[in-house]
Amino acid sequence: MKKVNIAVVGATGMVGRTFLKVLEERDFPYNKIYCFASKRSAGTKVKCKGEDIIVEELTETSFDRDIDIALFSAGGTTSEKFAPIAASKGVIVVDNSSHFRMDKDVPLVVPEVNPHAIFEHKNIIANPNCSTIQAMVALKPLQEKYGIKRVVFSTYQAVSGSGVKGVTDLENGLKGSLETNCYPHPIANNCLPHIDVFMDNGYTKEEMKMINETKKILGDDSLKITATAVRVPLYDCHSESINVELDGSFDIENVFELYRDYKGIILQDDVANNVYPLATTAKGTDDVYIGRIRRDFSLDNGLNIWVVADNIRKGAATNAVQIAEVLITR
Ligand code: A2P
């Protein structure tokens, strides 16, 4: 792997700090690393590979130096403004916001699923929505082997997906407070069928992201998909029930085999011993856990699976770093 200069934008945030952790853990081969955040954080320090890095304010001149790859996670508005500036200066941006995901000139990539799309970039590559990423890793082997006709997503998403504000709402709620700062209702002791804003069609934006991003990543506009995205009172990891209608008939044993051997997937399905994927198992790891594999008897070719992953790692930071790793192998 060649060594590059790398930038982290949003380095003080929840995903940004995880970028640094993942770069360190995977010993990503960089020469220099630059960290950017808002003016508020300028001058503070973050750490990567044992080195203290002084956070700089992100400005229009931040990329006027030798930076090869920039990992962005500083919100859609910051990406909208600064990713094109970086791209125009020859930096390859891997952007975690939703801003560019559906742009036809921007590849939307899960490295285990559509790595070929990475090199179609015009200096901006989008990291998919956290719930979409883990679902894609689970669906790709099924698409390759059987073909997919229809998908029903039901998600159970942790508060860390809403950043520090979501975590604080849960912490305060568990102490008895009914005041909220992030969600429209208390998240403690509730499941909220409301992630991101409601759209005119009655879906939330999060649900529409799952639907549209899935079609783009799997390269199939004809896929029939519906989704219900729910915020649950867990700190970390997203869990998903995925109901799939396959194109052809299948043997359930073969589905187990498929998942047993697939890169990035850990099969955990031994119901006789109460073994199935849990948020507490996935936390802090980079894999996608799959279990509760069973036939949907209400359809000819229906399948149910339960999928869990760490939303801040595989659902955000790790996926972006994996994209950067593919970039530097060329
Ligand atoms: P800061 O800490 O200075 O506010 P999270 O999603 O966890 O809230 O993190 C958001 C990240 O994006 C933080 O690092 C935050 O920096 C950064 N950020 C927010 N607004 C801007 C901005 N206008 N320019 C640069 N970075 C920003």
Which one of 1.10.10.10, 3.40.462.10, 3.40.30.10, 3.30.360.10 gives the CATH number of domain 131-311?
3.30.360.10
Distance of CA 166 from the midpoint of ligand 1 (Å): 15
Ligand 1, pocket-test mutation among 38, 40, 98, most atoms within 8 A of CB: 38
Tokens 């979501």 found at = 166
Q: Which of 8, 12, 44 to mutate to test the pocket of ligand 1 (most atoms within 8 A of CB)?
A: 12
Q: How many angstroms is it from 12 CA to the middle of ligand 1?
A: 7
Active site annotation includes 130: yes
Atom of ligand 1 nearest to the CA of 10: 14
Q: Is 35 a catalytic residue?
A: no
CA 65 – ligand 1 centroid, Å: 21
| 137 alpha carbon – ligand 1 mean position (Å) | 29
pLDDT at position 1:
66
> Residue 53: beta bridge partners?
46
The CATH 3.40.50.720 domain(s) of the chain lie at: 4-128+316-327
CB distance 126 to ligand 1 below 6 Å:
no
Residue 165 tokens, joined: 């504000």
Domain with CATH 3.30.360.10 in the chain: 131-311
Closest residue by Cα to atom 20, ligand 1, is: 38
Catalytic, out of 130, 185, 191, 237? 130
Distance 143 CA to ligand 1 centre (A): 37
14 CB near ligand 1 (under 6 Å): yes
pLDDT at 330: 78
Give 54-63's long-range contacts (Cβ < 8 A, gap of 24+).
55/11, 55/12, 58/9, 58/82, 60/85, 62/7, 62/34, 62/36, 62/86, 63/7, 63/89, 63/91
pLDDT tens readout for residues 203-236:
999 999 999 999 999 999 999 999 999 999 999 9
With CA atoms as reference, report the closest residue to 195 among 225, 161, 172, 233: 161
**Tokens 């950017």, residue?**
36
Ligand 1 touching residue 163 (CB < 6 A): yes
DSSP for 2-46, please give it: --EEEEEETTTSHHHHHHHHHHHHTT--EEEEEEEE-GGGTT-EE
Q: Which CATH number fits domain 4-128+316-327: 3.40.50.720, 3.40.50.300, 3.40.50.2300, 3.40.50.150?
A: 3.40.50.720
Cβ–ligand 1 contact at 74 (below 6 Å): yes
Atom of ligand 1 nearest to the CA of 163: 7
Of all protein residues, whose CA lies closest to atom 9 belonging to ligand 1? 13
Q: Does ligand 1 lie within 6 Å of residue 58's CB atom? A: yes
What is the Å distance from ligand 1's center to 117 Cα?
28
> CA–CA separation, 156 vs 279, rounded Å?
10
Cβ distance 233 to 300 under 8 Å? Answer: no
Cα of 88 from ligand 1 centre, angstroms? 22
Residues in the chain, pLDDT under 50: none
Nearest CA to ligand 1 atom 14: 10
In this structure, the strands spanning 56-57 and 69-72 are unpaired
Give pLDDT tens digits for 265-274. 999 999 999 9
Closest CA to 1 of 24, 30, 25, 21: 30
